[in-house]
A and B are shown apart, each in its own frame.
Chain A
Amino acid sequence: MSAEPHYTLYHPRWYRRRVSVWWWLQNRSYTRFVLRELTSVFVAFFAGLYLWQLHAIAQGPEAYGQFLVRLKTPFFLTVDAVAFFFVLFHAITWFNLTPKAMVVRLRGKRVPDWVVVGSNYAAWLVVSGAVALVLLRG
């Protein structure tokens, strides 16, 4: 022990740590969480893209043709690929979290988590299949 300690009278001096702006890099699950939150930007991007597409369709075949040409530029292909990755990440992470929010009980027993998650994926497959069918037929 070093020199005589000087004790503080009355109220103790508490130490408060400030949260660093880089807190989300501290561990992997925080980073994954922030990435998951960020996916909403890309979901919004796709929504915007669809609106633009509808607008182009409404303007007639020529405008739609131009829209399609624009989509095939390297810039849009890159942005689309990145956005697709994030939207996939969005869907998968949220599907995997559903059993936390939704507790389904059948005859008094809790339905296992994998059944809740699995039914989400099944619904996803069915809807994607239906959309693919419509598109490929056309």
Chain B
Amino acid sequence: MPSTVALTVTRYRPERESEPTFQTYEIPFRKDWVVLDALNHVKDRLDGSLSFRWSCRMGVCGSCGMKVNGTPKLTCATFLSDYLPGPIRVEPLDYFPVVRDLVVDITDFVRKLKQVKPWILRKEEKPLGEGEYLQTPDQLDTYKQFSMCINCMLCYSACPIYGLEPGFIGPAAIALAQRYNMDSRDQGAAERLNILSEHDGIWQCTFVGECTKVCPKHVDPAGAIQQYKLSGATHWIKSLLLPRGTR
């Protein structure tokens, strides 16, 4: 086991540089350290000017997504020991504008997420007196996987389509739309399909499949999008063939 490891980090200080550069720090190697611990060590002991986002340290908040040796990762769940002997290269997520060092601007994602209405939509709310909307374990099971998304945006950073077509609504937002579509309490599928069957919706996806590979929560956004395409196409064929009332 080495006693130190080299951590190469993207630096971008817009007041000084017109494009990002790299800076290497020699940090102590500890078996139980993740990349985020190493970054915090740099921030606390070596260079207080390094900027990066983090919060929970336990794979729940989705703030600490960065590229580690080229692959989008949650840095709180990526052990230094998996990258020995180093150097370990930490970069900001791809395809998002870099604000500073490892911090990217996520406005685009948040706007798209809101667009797909990721909440329960009802045509008519039932009166409070009738109690809650009940659901069986099997009904929960149909969408549970998609509800695990923590909005960490690793899937966007892995998706070359999002890089090439920045208008694409993207993996996580579509998976979350599907999460609500498949929820037995929700009635908003048709409303969401209107948004997602447009040019920047599901049909932009060409099924590269990398989003699913990098997802730290095993959400499988690629699966969600393909299932959405299938149900969208079925809906379209039905609307062509069947009279209005039977759809």
A: residues with CB less than 8 A from B are 1, 5-8, 12-17, 19, 23-24, 26-27, 29-30, 33, 37, 97, 100-103, 105, 108, 110
Contact = CB atoms under 8 A, between A and B. Distances in A.
A24 B210 CA distance: 12
B50 to A, nearest CB: 11
30 contacts: A5-B13, A5-B15, A5-B16, A8-B14, A8-B15, A12-B14, A13-B14, A14-B97, A14-B105, A15-B14, A15-B20, A16-B98, A17-B95, A19-B160, A19-B164, A24-B160, A26-B70, A29-B209, A30-B160, A30-B208, A30-B210, A33-B206, A33-B208, A97-B207, A100-B222, A101-B226, A101-B230, A102-B227, A108-B138, A108-B141
B220 A100 contact: yes
Contacts of A105: 142
Contacts of B141: 108, 110
Given A30-B210, A100-B223, A17 B94 contact: yes
Nearest to B212: A100
A37 B160 CA distance: 14
Nearest to B228: A101
A32 B91 CA distance: 24
B180 interface: no
B112 interface: no
Give the contact-size bracket for chain B: 35 or more
**In terms of DSSP, what is the predominant structure of the interface of chain A?**
loop
B99 interface: yes
- A-B CB proximity, top 7 nearest: A101-B226, A14-B97, A13-B14, A100-B223, A108-B138, A15-B98, A19-B163
Contacts of B227: 100-103
A100 B226 CA distance: 7
A6 B100 CA distance: 14
A29 B13 contact: no
B132 to A, nearest CB: 22
B5 to A, nearest CB: 23
B14 A29 contact: no
